[in-house]
Amino acid sequence: MLKELLQTNIPSNVKEFGKLTKEKDPYYFGSWDSIDGDLVLRYWFWNRGHSAKNRKRVLVNEIEDLLRHCTKNGTIRRSDFESKCLKTNGDGPCGFAMAGRILEGLDIVEYDPTLHEFRITNMDKALKLVKQDTIESKM
């Protein structure tokens, strides 16, 4: 269900994802892709001189695992991201911001700049997505 929800909302409703440092340019949706059967959101952002685009990826199944893990404590910390999103994290630490902003775009989490973490603000929706994805993966 999360996959379908993301593909419905991105890029039709959400095309840009704010960086955690507000004064910096955002991340931009690039395309949807698949790697070994896993859905991948490709995104890009400008380098410091605005002369080249840096291209990265977020694996949707890793976002699902991250959300499932974090429904237990209600927050998504960078350490959670690093342990649950190995391939996405392998592309660089900006994946933490991207994963959080993707969930924020679905009105599931909100970034807390003081604690440097995302708080789950809609636990019912998060649990429904996690539960539904668990059911679908068992079928």
Per residue in 97-135, pLDDT (tens digit) is: 999 999 999 999 999 999 999 999 999 999 999 885 554
pLDDT of residue 132: 56
Q: Is residue 35 classed as helix, strand or coil in its secondary structure? A: strand
- Residues present in the chain in total: 139
pLDDT tens digits, 33-54: 999 999 999 999 999 999 999 9
pLDDT (tens digit per residue) in 54-88? 999 999 999 999 999 999 999 999 999 999 999 99
Q: What are the angstrom distances between the C-alpha of 139 and each of 5, 14, 133?
A: 19, 30, 10
Range of the domain at 102: 2-138
Task: Indicate the DSSP class of residue 10.
Answer: T
Per the structure, the count of domains in the chain is: 1
Q: Which residue has the tokens 């685009």?
A: 53
CA angle 127, 128, 133 (to 5 degrees): 100
- Model confidence band, residue 139 (pLDDT cutoffs 50, 70, 90): very low
Q: How distant is the alpha carbon of residue 37 from its chain centre?
A: 18
Q: Indicate the helix (H) or strand (E) that contains 4.
A: helix 2-9
Residue type, 26: P
Is 71 exposed, middle or buried, given 0-12, 13-18 or 19+ CB atoms closer than 10 A? Answer: middle
- DSSP letter at 66? H
